[in-house]
A and B are shown apart, each in its own frame.
Chain A
Amino acid sequence: MVIAHTVCALLSYVAFLVAFLSGALFLVQERQVKRKRMGWLFRRLPALGTLDRLNLLAIGAGFGLLSLGMAFGLWGSRMLLGSRWPWDPKVLLTAVLWVAYLTLWMIRIRSTLRGRKIALLSILGFSLVLFTFLGVNRWLPTWHAYL
């Protein structure tokens, strides 16, 4: 249970990292295209369409894995601690993260926004991931301290 919880959570972070990287590369490549530069970066970086699809896929997968990880976590805490909702800062932040990526995913799927803005939001989202993953352990009291 704990293992499934941890594995899903970590994999979701990996997916969000992929979304972050594809978003960052999108911004770089988009800049090349907009400025009509056909240099080293232009030739080597993938097409914008490819990066956009990868980004969408990574956000979707990350969101799914995060949901699964949270479900395992809640189930586990109920079994181990008997409490329904463990009021831990990390859990709270993860809930925020879940809402954030759900929103981002929905925005992209419904094409409310596309391209540069989605790439920027993927980068912003990942900074939240980093804070949830690393920051909480350092600055806030948590049960999830293992780093």
Chain B
Amino acid sequence: MRILLVGVNHRSCPIEVRERLAFRTEQLPEAYAALRRDAGLAESLILSTCNRVEIYAGVPRLDGTHERLSAFLSAHGGFQDAELRSHLYACADPQSVEHLFAVASGLDSMVLGETEILHQVKHAYEQARSHGTAGKALNVLFQKALNAAKTVQTKTVLGRGCVSVGTVALEFAQKIFGDLRPHTVALLGAGKIGEVTLKRLSARGVSNIRVLNRSPERAQRLASSYGGTAYGLGALEAQLLEADILITSASAPGYLLTRAQAAAAMPQRRHRPLCLIDLGVPRNIEPAAGTLENVYLFDIDDLQGLVAHHASLRQQAVQDSQVIIQQKVRHFLAWWDAEGAACGSGSSSALAAAP
């Protein structure tokens, strides 16, 4: 018994190809039936996400399976077989096993270490099981792959966010307020980085959004795209009383918010915590404001420093993850070889490798 993989991912082909190859849930019953009928596969599993379409198959012998799977994918996407060949990668165990373990752990993802892929792999596995196409080989393979991914998640810092200024700011805001949804965020200024940060907060469910800008049109445009309210710059003092998170990313020669202003606002805010995220260069908020009680000030250097710090941690995490994955792959292959020996059919020795 061999474990074969044929597929495409975000590196091997452009989105135009991936979107034609992707399997929608309602297409899966027919696809699994076709794999069984036309490709003659006893065990198969389709992993279709926005960044990859891969078919894993358990076959007694390799002969011709690769070609049959490639033809199946070409037919599914409406390609000429030769046209798709250049985008496809195909391999058998042990490479296919290593590949799956790396995929499930997020090491093969566009955003390194993202954890959504783990859920997608799990979902694909459940789908295959419900269609009755996951036999002994794929069952054990996917359970081990999910287990490896969970170990990587818990034992390394691979999946921890902090990839951008926006995510670091978001982490801090969450550690100050807990649930961000009931809180109010105000964005001051038109800087791109400020908008990106606002976008992150909005994606996290902050719905009470105010946008302050010198140009009312721009404020209005930004506010409406996030379902917020637009104000002029003059509204800063009033907003300081209402907002919990104030993001500034304006280009201004002096401070737009001084320590004295913040100090005056705090008793009126009844000392509710105030998170100030200053993304302006030169800075928009007087640094001494951060020394006030219940005021938490982060400037662009604080946030970028942490992003850089996390980048180096992640580099280390990649190495740690690879060690974990190699170990888990070895375990699986040892079991696999023993199974193969017991069944009297050989495994190992790769077919082709180009992931």
Contact = CB atoms under 8 A, between A and B. Distances in A.
Nearest to A48: B176
Interface range on chain A (Cβ under 8 Å from partner): 20 to 34
Interface string A22-44: 00000001001110101000110
Contacts of B290: 34
Nearest to B297: A34
Given A38-B306, A114-B271, A117-B293, A49 B172 contact: no
A79 interface: no
B302 A36 contact: yes
A86 interface: no
Given A33-B296, A34-B296, A117-B293, A47 B175 contact: yes
B272 A111 contact: yes
A113 B271 CA distance: 7
Given A33-B172, A36-B298, A49 B293 contact: no
A116 B171 CA distance: 20
A100 to B, nearest CB: 20
A118 to B, nearest CB: 9
A143 to B, nearest CB: 42
Contact of A115 (B179, B293, B306): B293
A43 B68 CA distance: 49
A36 B176 CA distance: 12
B270 A114 contact: yes
A84 B242 CA distance: 51
B294 A114 contact: yes
A48 B310 CA distance: 23
Interface in A84-128: 111-117
Contacts of A33: 172, 175-176, 296
B296 A49 contact: no
A48 B272 contact: no
A112 B273 CA distance: 13
Interface string B154-177: 000000101000001001101111
A135 interface: no
A30 to B, nearest CB: 9
Contacts of A111: 270-272
B205 interface: no
Nearest to B298: A36
Contacts of B254: none
B306 A49 contact: no
Interface residues of B, number: 25
A120 B310 CA distance: 32
B302 A49 contact: no
Interface in A36-92: 36, 38, 42-43, 46-50, 53
Given A38-B171, A115-B293, A49 B271 contact: no
B178 interface: yes
B113 to A, nearest CB: 15
Nearest to B160: A43
Nearest to A50: B178
Contacts of A47: 174-178
A11 B174 CA distance: 32
B249 to A, nearest CB: 19
Given A113-B271, A114-B271, A49 B178 contact: yes
A43 B159 CA distance: 13
Given A29-B175, A38-B171, A115-B293, A48 B162 contact: no
A116 B272 CA distance: 12
A48 B270 CA distance: 16
Nearest to A51: B178
A27 to B, nearest CB: 12
Interface in A2-37: 29, 32-34, 36
Nearest to A114: B271
Nearest to A38: B306
A34 B270 CA distance: 20
Contacts of B172: 33, 36
Given A48-B178, A115-B294, 8 more contacts: A36-B305, A38-B162, A38-B310, A49-B177, A53-B178, A115-B293, A116-B293, A116-B294
Going nearest first, the 6 A-B pairs with the smallest beta carbon separation are A111-B270, A47-B178, A114-B271, A49-B178, A115-B294, A50-B178
20 contacts: A32-B175, A33-B176, A34-B290, A34-B296, A36-B305, A38-B309, A42-B175, A47-B175, A48-B176, A48-B273, A49-B178, A50-B178, A111-B271, A111-B272, A113-B271, A114-B271, A114-B273, A115-B271, A116-B293, A116-B294
Interface of B: 160, 162, 168, 171-172, 174-179, 270-273, 290, 293-294, 296, 298, 302, 305-306, 309-310
